[in-house]
Amino acid sequence: MMDRCKKLGNNALLLNSVMSAFKPEFIAARSMDFIGMIKDCEESGFPKHLLFQSLGLNLALADPPENDKLQILNEAWKVITKLKNPQVSRSLYLLF
């Protein structure tokens, strides 16, 4: 399924579905792969902040590899700081 998401590219809805359906441990272990796929998605259709929210919900339940934590935070922060709606921002701040 991960390969299919990567090959399709810019399929944010499928990517979000994968992050919602798979176990948090699976998502957390591959968090940098998911970050890369999120970065490849366009903003139209399904916003990146919702993808990061799905990722964050998984990471709240299962820890990513220790070496990836700072990079995950940095990538999420790039999206969080661009948000204009404080309600959306607040929910993402709490996750990350």
SS3 content of the chain, % helix, strand, coil (to 5): 75, 0, 25
Q: Which sequence spans correspond to the domains of the chain?
A: 2-95
∠ CA 27-16-29, rounded to 5°: 10
pLDDT band at 6 (very low <50, low <70, confident <90, very high): low
pLDDT digits (tens, 9 = 90+) for 23-43: 999 999 999 999 988 888 877
The DSSP output letter for 23 is -
pLDDT for residue 95 is more than 60:
no
The pTM (predicted TM-score) of the whole model is: 0.79
C-alpha dihedral, 54 to 55 to 56 to 61, nearest 10°: 100
| Amino acid of residue 2 | M
pLDDT of 70 reads 92
Q: pLDDT band at residue 77, thresholds of 50, 70 and 90? A: confident
